[in-house]
Amino acid sequence: MRRFALLVPFFLMAACSSPSLTSETLSEAEIAAIQSRVSDAYPELSSEKQQAVSELVVRALDNMVFVEGGSFMMGEFGVPCEPGSDDVCMSDFDKSNDHAHKVILDDYSLSAYETTIADFDLFRELHGKAPYAADLRAREDRQELFEPNKPAWTKDWEEARDYCTWIGELSSRRLDLPKEAQWEFAARNRGKDVLYATNNGLIEEGKNYPASEDRPGPSNVGSFPPNPLGLYDLAANSGEWVKDWFSEDYYKNSDERNPSGPDEGEEKVFRNIASYNTPRTNTTVSRSSSSPIGDSYYPHQGFRCGMN
């Protein structure tokens, strides 16, 4: 993959001595434009802090994995009732995913990684917010919970979405939380009958899924092999907010092309559950939901961004 080293023109940046940025996917002009937007949005920041923000935005775009659109039957596809059996049973006890229905998706991209604590902390700092869980962060025996490369904690759905759209504004691209259908299509390797979103569709604890002794705490993002599309942690780690409102019977009424969920609701869809669950329940079709407004920041309530 070609890499670009940025030589910032004087007329784009006030200080020619700013450190260069490199990218696996962006041109020099695109990187310079991001740096200019960051400078315009945060003129009061030091050059070092502006550089950190620019690096975050460039990294977020570099981490986007292109997903070619297509059609699939979203929802429960059934599994053999017993190994080798021709009888098909439901993979879980969730009734909201039982109605398999055709979905057609346009092309999109999805972040290879869940958003990290380090990146989410920087976003919150720029918006005048104090670090969450300050009491826990101050404890020596809880430092491992806040390692910078672990999944971000969230409390409210809106803040997770705001992070994605913030990157979109600074990059002049359409970033947002992924739609539920986009999440499942990618987890199932473009809609195949794949039950677990691992590198091989199976759960092998300690190899492609956290070992029992490493649960329930989240691992550093990307600690295990990605699925065949190059997406990490879709089978376990943090649970993930998606954009859609939740409805128990939405699958029976879903739009066919690019569905975006019900128009309103009381809870938002939550996918991937979390690695503290029994591994066999963390399937590509499992659905969960949570109030979009929480009581406190929670370590298993994370997210990743998508791009249309």
Quick: pLDDT tens for 247-304. Answer: 999 999 999 999 999 999 999 999 987 655 677 788 999 999 999 999 999 999 999 9
How many angstroms separate the CA atoms of 291 and 280, rounded?
Answer: 25
pLDDT at 6 over 50: no
Question: Would you say 188 and 284 are in contact if contact means Cβ atoms under 8 Å apart?
Answer: yes
Residue 220: the pLDDT is 95
Domain that holds residue 177: 63-307
For residue 125, tell me if it sits in a domain.
yes
- The reply to whether 38 falls in a domain is no
Number of alpha carbons in the 13 Å side-chain half-sphere of residue 208: 17
Q: Is residue 231 part of a domain?
A: yes
Residue 36 belongs to some domain of the structure: no
Calculate the average pLDDT of the chain.
Answer: 91
State mean pLDDT over 83-100: 85
Q: Is 250 helix (H, G, I), strand (E, B) or coil?
A: helix
48 phi and psi, to 5 degrees? -65, -40
Does residue 142 carry a pLDDT above 90? yes
- Kindly state the average pLDDT of the residues 241-249: 97
Give whole-number Cα distances, 293 to 10, 97, 193, 266, 279, in Å: 45, 24, 33, 10, 27
DSSP one-letter string for 113-176: SPPBHHHHHHHHHHTT-PPTTHHHHT-GGGGGGG-TTSBPPBS-HHHHHHHHHHHHHHHTS-EE
User: In the chain, how many domains are there?
Assistant: 1
Give the integer Cα–Cα distance in Å for 117 and 56: 12
Model confidence at 8, pLDDT cuts 50, 70, 90, reads: very low
Cβ proximity of 32 and 50 under 8 Å? no
pLDDT in tens, 198-228: 999 999 999 999 887 766 678 999 999 999 9
Any domain includes 164 = yes
Residue 10 within a domain = no
Per-residue model confidence (pLDDT) at position 216: 67
pTM value is 0.91
Q: Is residue 16 part of a domain?
A: no
* CATH code for the domain in which residue 280 is found: 3.90.1580.10
User: DSSP secondary-structure letter at 279?
Assistant: G
Judge whether 110 and 100 are in contact, CB under 8 Å.
no
Positive or negative, the Cα torsion across 209, 212, 216, 218? negative
For residue 236, the model assigns a pLDDT of: 86
57 is a domain residue: no
Q: How far is CA 153 from the centre of its chain?
A: 12
> Residue 118, class by beta-carbon neighbours within 10 Å (0-12 exposed, 13-18 middle, 19+ buried)?
middle
Please identify which residue in the block is written with the tokens 């963390």. 282
